[in-house]
A and B are shown apart, each in its own frame.
Chain A
Amino acid sequence: MTDQPIISIRDLRKTYQAGEVDVHALRGVNLDVQRGEFVSIVGPSGSGKSTLFHIVGGLTPPTAGSIQLAGHDLLGLTDAQRTELRKTTVGFVFQKYNLLPTLTARDNIEIARHIAHKNGPPDPQFEEVLKLLGLTGRLDHKPRALSGGEQQRVAIARAIVNHPAILLADEPTGNLDTENSTAVLGLLRDLNQRLGQTILMITHNPEAAAYGHRIVRMRDGRIEDN
């Protein structure tokens, strides 16, 4: 880990318009995440953790404050620049896996490379990652032929294939049984330890949160315990 945080958030605010009502989803969030850190974010529904996830992932712009992500100031980015950021700097893992159902596991990973304009063969290190994820024999299957745990492992492979600066995981074990949850969390920890992958994970589950180096608790759009 270095002293320069890979994520630096100061007084981050996000206000949604829900009909005629302003919804203040984030009310001044401050957070630093160091390179190579595995941070778990916990909090009840409506605490703002998903909104924070979406802003850090470049899926929506913040309303105010500052957020630096791997040297990018997200507040001033255009839609096209945030699209470019998602291509190169962040990788997503979702609760519902979100694999493309018509493509095989291999092609689900490959399309992430294609979108990032990486059309050559994957680097040898990624082959090692696939072995680590236990996917080598399952790559030619479509999602419907894979178990939940396998689908989530494919989603993790897809998320890191372009070597993102940060991996964002939103309830990655939310749809998995205990055995598969443990396996997926173990893989995330392995990726963090072996590859130095920075991970920001949202979870409701205290046991899952314990896999992180530290736990950040959110409530009412603020971080209450860091």
Chain B
Amino acid sequence: MINKLVIENLKHRPLRTLLSIFAISIQVTMVLTLVGVSTGMLDEQARRARGIGADIIIRPPNSSAISNNGNMPAAIIPKIVDVEPHVAATAGVLIYPTGFLSYVTGVDLPQFNKLNGGFRYVQGGPFQGPDDVLVDTYYADQHKYHVGETVTEANRPWKLTGIYEPGMLARQVVPLATLQDLTSNRGNVSTIYVKLDDPARISEVIKHLEGKLPDYKVHAMQEYTELFSVNSVPMLREFTVVVIALGVLVGFLVVFLSMYTAVLERTREIGVLKALGASPGYILDILLRETLLLATAGALLGILLSYATQFTVNQVIHGSLIQAIVYVWWPITAGIALVGAALGAIYPGLKAARQDAIEALAYD
């Protein structure tokens, strides 16, 4: 019977109900999109790193696990890395950020090709000159680039000579020497990829390299790609917590206003229920069930909307962002919606439960 009353109450004010559900869904979508983009981008980075075909990765001292900060002398490749037993191929790359989540990677193609056979081109081919650029199909689709066009990256024009299949290294690749000159990093690289003649020797080679390159970050590629998690990205975890807190706040405010208005509007009805013998707990139960229903509907709508944001992100700007659907966050965001809504319902609920029956019955 209470459920029927709750549903009828919500149906009685359809606009308020729908707006409340929509507002709650926005916070759920907001969190799911943030987590989805973070996870999607990190998974994509890990996938591209694995696609390189290297067994070991070397990063400069003081670099964090997955950020592209810090450079190191490329000279360590011939002097230290290449001379290590079981090293079959090496390639140093320079990564230069060009914007938020966007960067150009400088590559020495002959070196890089030894790691994995090189890029698989769907249009055009390798660099013909120092001012050439290669992009993957995602990036080309998003920016509507075609081979032979002049494109602007890192604030200068480049000639697009090739478009390759995605899933390897980066979305935009330029000659290593050109990028080194352009960024005043002559002789430096950001990352060194190492391929061994025997993958069973990875631990042994890492141990040797760590001994020769103290303070450098030397990881097995498998171990390195496992570091691509939200916890490894500086400030991302904190940012997510802030977004969750905002979500709880939005849910609180939406439900508070909605329920407060509902309680004021239903003052006389609350008086009637009390005259019929409804206890404060019974009144509170009605309000909390309404809140629960709003929050649950909002969470479900929010999950559905996260598919809409995923579609938009992945179809429209898939060259820049990738959003994953992170199922494990569904119950978490639903919980966030419920907590915010429950907090918002406390005061209106208590106000209704404590309503004086005689005053409520006299309310017009």
Residues of A within 8 A of B (CB): 54, 57, 59-60, 80, 83-88, 92, 94, 98-103, 107, 110-112, 114-116, 119, 158
**Cβ of B11 and Cβ of A115 under 8 Å apart?**
no
Cβ 8 A contact of B358, one of A54, A101, A115: A54
How many chain B residues sit at the interface, stated as a range, is: 20 to 34
9 A-B contact pairs sorted by A residue (CB < 8 Å): A57-B275, A59-B275, A92-B276, A94-B272, A102-B5, A112-B276, A114-B2, A115-B277, A116-B277
- The answer on a CB contact under 8 Å between A103 and B358 is no
Contact (Cβ within 8 A) B12 A115: no
Contacts of B272 in A (CB 8 A): 94, 98-100
- B residues in contact with A102, CB < 8 Å: 5, 8-9, 11-12
**Nearest CB of B to A102, in Å:** 4
Give the CA-CA distance A107 to B7 in the complex, in Å.
13
CB < 8 Å: which of A57, A83, A94, A110 contacts B1? A110
Expressed in whole angstroms, the minimum distance between the Cβ of B20 and any Cβ of chain A is 17
**Which residues 263-288 of B have a CB within 8 angstroms of A?**
268-269, 271-279, 282
Question: Which residues of A have CB within 8 Å of B227?
Answer: none
Interface of B: prevailing SS:
helix
Complex Cα–Cα for A218 and B144 (A): 90
Q: Are B361 and A111 in contact (CB under 8 A)?
A: no
10 further interface pairs, Cβ-Cβ under 8 Å (given A102-B12, A107-B1, A107-B8): A59-B357, A80-B279, A86-B276, A88-B277, A98-B272, A98-B361, A101-B269, A102-B8, A115-B278, A116-B277
Q: Does B4 contact A (CB under 8 A)?
A: yes
Contact of B9 with A111 in the complex, beta carbons under 8 Å: no
Chain A residues with Cβ under 8 A from B271's Cβ? 98
Taking a contact as CB atoms closer than 8 A, the residue among A59, A84, A103, A158 that contacts B5 in the complex is A103
**A28 CA to B8 CA, complexed, in Å:** 45
CB pair A84–B277 under 8 Å, yes or no, is: yes
Which residues of chain A are within 8 angstroms of B361 by Cβ–Cβ distance? 59, 94, 98
Residue on B with the closest CB to A168?
A: B275
- Chain B positions within 8 Å of A116 at CB level: 277
B1 touches A86 (CB 8 A): no
Chain B, range 308-364, C-beta contacts under 8 Å to A: 357-358, 361
